[in-house]
């Protein structure tokens, strides 16, 4: 399915379920991680038209790598808080099945040799292995975490915890009502059979670079003498297609239209971090978000820490001293997949659904992103 059609499906379903008039929408903001090819040409605007919404509804597409969908929600909330808009739809889309996997080793430098000389970067999987090495997360530790993600996701799916927010997608191959990616029954023992995915890549060089990716990491982090390559397809986020859409409105619009708000965005934040290790910013982003809200870790009932790689939530849990039983309680991207531009908006919906199910109040979503950044959002039920 074309990503425009996928996002348009979400937009149409959101309007049907909530009953708002699309003509009242001030803007549609979509996150996307690639912004080219089938995802190009402002996919938000094109999806608005494909959904059959009025031509007067504009659309904007943005990119903050893996945090794009979450950033779209932040931009929407900010425009409403500033009084610029009353009703905004935010979300994102990614059809990763359409990504060009023949383009070579992925580095986040735009193939710019000047940037590469100043800031050599490595593929994200190697960054994840670097985190695991520095933190002492063994293969058994990351595989055990991945198995837990699968177990939690399987239980959530079986109990229908995601059902209220899922949208059936009709394709030429049939209608899909549930995610295909989860692998229920996965265990640390079965995952142990998989070979590390990034060892060979770590021994490769970027174009024009005489050092291997592993050597770049070791020069930046001389406290270790080798990279322990522990990540693979089973303990990393899934490559999937997906889309999400969230309705945000001003209190005045909600009151005028008889809509009862489910929650508010209490605070949001983004932060940068060292770009070689790249994936360590969820903790600092969460801390910045908590400070803006005047809150502490103890004030958060549930956490969603995106499972880009198993080492990412493990490090964030350790850094912030979070109770693991409050983190990713319905599994995460290892089991469910990580459609880059959509995941952040998906997680905001996921955490709100679970807060309501448990009758809790506050949730925090935080993600790592390419280029060494992190995003965070605090959601508070009303």
- Bridge partner residues of 269 (DSSP): 376
Residue 79 phi, psi (nearest 5)? -65, -35
User: Catalytic one among 10, 66, 217, 289?
Assistant: 66
Please say if 205 is a catalytic residue.
no
User: Catalytic one among 39, 181, 232, 338?
Assistant: 338
Please say if 24 is a catalytic residue.
no
H or E stretch including 244?
strand 241-249
Please say if 210 is a catalytic residue.
no
Residues 47, 28 contacting (CB under 8 angstroms): yes
Check residue 2 and report its DSSP letter: -
Both tokens assigned to 15: 């309007």
Return contacts of 293-301, CB within 8 angstroms, 24+ apart.
Answer: 293/266, 293/267, 293/378, 295/266, 295/267, 295/362, 295/378, 297/321, 297/322, 299/362, 300/326, 300/362, 300/363, 300/364, 300/378, 301/326, 301/355, 301/358, 301/360, 301/361, 301/362, 301/363
Both tokens assigned to 284: 């600092």
Active site residues: 66, 338, 368
């Amino acid at each position: 399915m074309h990503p425009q059609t996928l996002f348009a499906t979400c937009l149409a379903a959101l309007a049907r379920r909530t009953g708002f008039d699309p003509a009242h929408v001030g803007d549609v903001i979509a996150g996307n991680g690639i912004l080219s090819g089938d995802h190009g040409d402002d996919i938000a605007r094109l999806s608005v038209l494909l959904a059959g919404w009025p031509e007067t509804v504009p659309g904007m597409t943005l990119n903050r790598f893996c945090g794009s969908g979450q950033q779209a929600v932040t931009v929407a909330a900010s425009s409403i808080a500033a009084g610029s808009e009353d009703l905004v739809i935010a979300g994102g889309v990614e059809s990763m099945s359409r990504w060009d996997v023949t383009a070579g080793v992925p580095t986040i430098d735009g193939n710019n040799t000047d940037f590469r000389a100043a800031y050599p970067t490595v593929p994200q999987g190697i960054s994840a292995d670097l985190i695991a090495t520095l933190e002492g997360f063994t293969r058994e530790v990351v595989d055990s975490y991945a198995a837990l993600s699968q177990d939690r996701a399987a239980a959530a799916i079986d109990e229908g915890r995601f059902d209220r927010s899922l949208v059936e997608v009709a394709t030429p191959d049939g209608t899909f009502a549930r995610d295909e990616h989860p692998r229920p029954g996965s265990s640390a023992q079965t995952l142990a059979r998989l070979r590390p995915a990034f060892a060979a890549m770590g021994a490769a060089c970027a174009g024009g670079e005489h050092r291997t990716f592993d050597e770049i990491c070791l020069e930046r982090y001389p406290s270790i003498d080798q990279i322990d390559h522990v990540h693979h397809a089973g303990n990393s986020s899934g490559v999937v297609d997906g889309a999400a859409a969230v309705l945000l409105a001003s209190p005045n619009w909600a009151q005028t239209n008889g809509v009862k708000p489910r929650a508010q965005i209490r605070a949001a934040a983004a932060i940068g971090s060292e770009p070689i290790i790249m994936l360590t910013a969820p903790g600092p982003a969460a801390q910045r978000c908590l400070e803006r809200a005047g809150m502490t870790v103890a004030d958060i009932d549930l956490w969603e820490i995106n499972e880009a790689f198993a080492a990412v939530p493990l490090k964030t849990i350790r850094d912030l001293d979070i109770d693991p039983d409050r983190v990713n309680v319905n599994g995460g991207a290892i089991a469910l997949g990580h459609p880059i531009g959509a995941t952040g908006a998906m997680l905001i919906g996921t955490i709100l659904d679970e807060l309501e199910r448990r009758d809790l109040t506050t949730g925090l979503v935080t993600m790592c992103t390419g280029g060494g950044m992190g995003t965070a959002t605090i959601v508070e039920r009303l």
